[in-house]
Copies of this chain bind each other. A is one copy, B any other.
Amino acid sequence: MTVVGHLINGEIINAAGESGRSQDVFNPSTGEVSKQVALADQATVSNAIAAAEAAFPAWRDTPPLKRARVMFRFKQLLEENAETICKMIGEEHGKISHDAMGELQRGIENVEYACGAPELLKGEHNRNVGPGIDSWSEFQPLGVVAGITPFNFPAMVPMWMFPLAIACGNTFVLKPSERDPSSTLYIAQLLHEAGLPKGVLNVVNGDKEAVDVLLTDRRVKAVSFVGSTPIAEYIYATANANGKRCQALGGAKNHAIIMPDADMDNAVNQLLGAAFGSSGERCMALSVAVAVGQQAGDDLVAKLQEAMKPLKVGAFNNSENDFGPVITQVHQEKVVGHISSAEADGATVVVDGRQPDVEGHPNGFYVGATLIDNVKPDMVSYKAEIFGPVLQVIRVNTMEEAMQLINDHEYGNGTCIFTRDGEAARYFSDYIEVGMVGINIPLPVPVAYHSFGGWKRSLFGDLHAYGPDGVRFYTKRKTITQRWPSSNVREGVNFSFPS
């Protein structure tokens, strides 16, 4: 059976599983084990860090324009090999090809942004901060930085991190999810094919043992993390206590407010993709719809119920499916459990996906699209991040009530309002305590030239991921102040060296 190894100093190692621990990789569409993934021990991670450290001096001295050109070629290779990448994603994650392509495209956008490194690294220069004194800032790379990424976007989330970090002059150790490691590793190889010097990007697969080396090794200067909130908190506290800078992105519970004046057909159409796309396994998935007013609520539920009928859950390799399985059997059971708990708590399961019929794949980890009405704020299913294809509807009487719900929730990642009203939209975007806000946009993921980040317990750190904040996160500011005293040297006929 194939073993997915590590990529250290430009070489694949452990691919034969010749040593150490390993773990099964499943095909969630069939429920079968398809590969093994090597789990790095401390020494392996340390080697990866050493490779990154050794590659740093030459890479930080490579002009940003040349670093950017590696990214230009990388983009091209990603596009040329998109189909291969998406198939890898599908096999191990379960998402349908069109969805995988969307993920990849979002990743490529971050590569495109990294192509602008020379522009992005501009410092600020002032002549005459005092008489004859100039001052300017430079944004220098940190050295070795690490990324720890989740299963749900094996291509995109790593590309939120390493292209920009590397374009800024850092070297990188990536620990992707061990659940779907193949596409990530393949992408890293493409970057080498694009001309990246050995050791600048290293990939280690692993679990907590590997993570803890990255969090404590003094050679690692910064850690970017995306995952669940409890882990994010652990990562943040541990990395900081070890003298690193850290940004740790955690969980979410993203609400959409449906105003009475919303174009309901449009809202329903948008919600379908936002709630059920990628089986809801997105930190920006829209999992709660808050309907303002009785009429809006009734309309919304009726139209959603109707619109959900043709939705198809199934295997990744049939592009007619709308979404695929969830990542593991354990997770499947957890999602189903949340639906049942909502029901037990008094909510109405309008569309029930607990027992989907997926022909030919009896052991796949499937949950069908589920709609739950009359959810209340004190239900467990409302408080938790379900991370499955489940859309819950809460009904309120006013926009203020709807906003209060959102502002009271532990998380503050994304949110959205559906309305035609300019004033409602402005009020909402101003006062809502959420980092990423959509106006008639259900998945307001910022484009690559803005930055991604939630508020409250959805992000630990002060800088958001990728975009302008990413540049600041992956560089340290150096401020130079310069005066050249004259001493009457320049003014003389004999400018300098008497012979």
Interface residues of A (CB under 8 A from B): 61-65, 68-69, 72, 75-76, 109, 112-113, 115-116, 118-138, 140, 222, 236-237, 240-241, 243, 245, 259-261, 263, 266, 292-293, 295, 397-400, 419-427, 429-430, 434-441, 444-447, 449-453, 455, 457, 460-464, 468-469, 472-473, 476-487, 489-497, 499
Contact = CB atoms under 8 A, between A and B. Distances in A.
Contact of A118 (B129, B136, B245, B468): B129
- Name A's interface SS: mixed
- Which 5 interchain pairs have the tightest Cβ spacing? A423-B484, A439-B482, A125-B125, A116-B116, A261-B496
A473 B453 CA distance: 15
Given A125-B124, A439-B484, A495-B293, A243 B490 contact: no
A19 to B, nearest CB: 37
Contacts of A464: 477, 479
Given A116-B116, A425-B482, A479-B436, A123 B121 contact: no
A127 B123 contact: yes
Contacts of A460: 240, 243
A489 B421 contact: yes
B245 A237 contact: no
A130 B63 contact: yes
Given A131-B61, A484-B423, A497-B497, A125 B119 contact: no
Contact of A125 (B137, B438, B497): B137
A118, A419, A446: most-surrounded residue (chain B CB, <10 A): A118
A130 B116 CA distance: 15
A487 B122 contact: no
A69 B482 CA distance: 23
Contacts of A449: 118-119, 122, 126
